[in-house]
Amino acid sequence: MRVLNLEQGRPDRLTARRLLLSGLENARASGHREVKLIHGYGSHGVGGSIRRDTRTTLLQLQEEGQILGFIPGEEFGPFSELCRQALTKNWELTRDPDYARGNSGITIVLLRK
């Protein structure tokens, strides 16, 4: 799974959005099926705005059919229906260190082929 750190260097939310969009496109072009986004959970305010903007952007991309969906980190575990569906395609997601940890500072994006 490709990892994309959106909070590295403490960018503003618009810069983080550009990194998100280009990173997802690069991952898709490289054949990845999932991308783990690290956006932080907002303990200092910056991560919170990046997290909110990232998830809003992902919802738009999902509605437009550009991604299959996304799993918020706090739902990335065995009790999420979307996560269970993703595991049927790639069980190795369970090996991710954030699996079943309730980490709101990450989001898993499910890419279209």
Find the DSSP H helices in the chain: 13-29, 46-63, 81-89
Whole-number pLDDT of residue 43 = 63
Q: Which residues contact 78 (CB under 8 A, 6 or more apart)?
A: 84, 100
Whole-number pLDDT of residue 41 = 80
**Structural domain boundaries in the chain:** 2-111
Average pLDDT over the chain, rounded to whole?
93
Whole-number pLDDT of residue 48 = 81
Whole-number pLDDT of residue 68 = 94
Query: Percentage of the chain with pLDDT > 70?
Result: 96
Confidence band, pLDDT 50/70/90 cuts, at residue 26: very high
Confidence band, pLDDT 50/70/90 cuts, at residue 33: very high
- 36-73 pLDDT, tens digit per residue, is 999 998 765 545 889 999 999 999 999 999 999 999 99
| 2-111: CATH number | 3.30.1370.110
Its pTM stands at: 0.92
